[in-house]
Amino acid sequence: MFYFFYYFPLGLDVRTPRRVWATWMVMAACAGVFVLQRTQPMFFWVNQNALVFLPSAPSPSSLVLNAYLHGGWLHLISNMITLAVFGPALEGRIGAGRFLLLYHLCNVFANLVQGALVLLALPAYAGAGVVGASGAIAGILGLCAVRLDFARLRLGYWAFLPLQAFTRCGMANIPVLAAIFLWFVLQAGMALMQIQGAGAGVAVGSHLGGLAAGVAFGLLWGWRRAARCEALLQRGRRYLDRALWYPAQGEFIEYVRRMPHDSDGHLELARTYRLTGRNGLADDHYRAACNLLSAAGRLDRVEEVYVEAEKGSPMFALAPARQLQLAQAQERSLRIAAAEQSYLRYAHHHAQTHAAPLALYRAARLSGQRPGHACHAQTLYQRLVDEYPLTAEAGLARNELQLLAAA
């Protein structure tokens, strides 16, 4: 039967926990070098031994630099698509420095395995150069098999049977481990065919070596525990997507037990408690998430979580220091109405603290800056005088009341 079947990765179903740059830097470098290959071919020809990995005469620099050279547009684009799909999710979890280090180390091992395979089984190809990022990207796949084994890969596919007038295209989600295993089987089959005498136009030894190196580095770095923990978080999110609140809650409870200092776990658990009507526990975990985000300097995220928590519990408030910090951050960013409400929430929930008069005074000042809110500001100043008559803020409030009365 004469048919065509094409498939290509579209993305992973996991979130990237931080901004990434190393993946995009590597992709930009590969694209830039490819343009130079086309515009300055003589430079690459003269420096071929330093840039292209030759199994018969390898140079130390070629073990690393050959990853930035590609044989054609299709070669470059296929590698960059794979890197764009898997790279950001992995880099966001292991960090840019380790990502770059392991990317290049996997490429070195990929070249060494390819060289050994050629010299031992295909000596006729010992003088053929090896270029491309596929060995390093295979290492990224190996690392993903360890660190992101719980993820699902979204595939686009096209099946075309011209003799039967049949065509079908679409998308499918498969476990990332299954996708990587199938790719490994394909590469191993091609390697056996090459050993049996087929052409060696594809460096499958590089693919297999890079994949094995990635798996080994991931296991040596101890990322299996982190993967098992994050699998709980991912399963919980999938339950949430299907409105299975109690199973999701169970996964998030176990995740928070294992990873108590992760704000995402507390936030997801708070949402399931809100959905199941346990508002007290929801507020506790919203506060825990805000505390962790605040400690990490993510005040923008603190405000997002605070607003979300407030929708389900109108009187929700953070711990005194965090609530005051949030109000001050909102005031600095000129979100006047939000800052006023945060100060008032502080004064209401933490009325016995030393900063309560200051919070009430700042709320009154902000209210006075809003058009049409002079009467509300006057009410807040009077409340400050009545509740905290002996404080310095009360003295300032009396002056403001006199000015308002004169106006």
What percent of the chain stands above pLDDT 90? Answer: 55
pLDDT computed for residue 214 by the predictor = 97
pLDDT-derived band of residue 2, with 50, 70 and 90 as boundaries?
A: very low
Class of domain 342-407: mainly alpha
The distance between the two most distant Cα atoms of the chain, rounded to a whole number of Å, is: 100
Q: What is the pLDDT of residue 166?
A: 72
Q: Which residue has the higher pLDDT, 260 or 171?
A: 260
Per-residue pLDDT, averaged over 165-175, amounts to: 83
In the prediction, which pLDDT does 270 show? 96
In the predicted structure, residue 4 carries a pLDDT above the cut 90: no
Distance set, CA 311 to CA 103, 227, 279, 286, 305 (Å):
44, 33, 11, 12, 10
pLDDT for res 298: 85
Q: What integer is the mean pLDDT of 152-163?
A: 81
Q: What span, in angstroms and rounded, lies between the C-alpha atoms of 184 and 355?
A: 63
- Which pLDDT band, with edges at 50, 70 and 90, does 1 fall under? very low
Q: What is the CATH number assigned to the segment(s) 4-221? A: 1.20.1540.10
Structure confidence at residue 334 as a pLDDT band (50, 70, 90) = confident
210, 144 contact by CB (below 8 A):
no
* Residue range(s) occupied by CATH 1.20.1540.10 in the chain: 4-221
Average pLDDT over residues 78-98: 96
Q: Between 104 and 350, name the one with better pLDDT.
A: 104
- What does the alpha-carbon distance between residue 299 and residue 321 come to, in Å, rounded to a whole number? 13
For the cut 90, the answer to whether the pLDDT of residue 401 exceeds it is: no
| Measured distance CA(210)–CA(186) in Å, rounded | 15
Among 74-83, 191-200, 226-235, name the one with the lowest average pLDDT: 191-200
Q: At the topology level of CATH, where does 227-316 sit?
A: 1.25.40
CA atoms of 225 and 94, how far apart (whole Å) = 13
Ranges in the chain annotated CATH 1.25.40.10: 227-316, 342-407
Mean pLDDT, residues 1-26 taken together: 82
Global pTM reads 0.82
Q: Note the pLDDT of residue 3.
A: 52
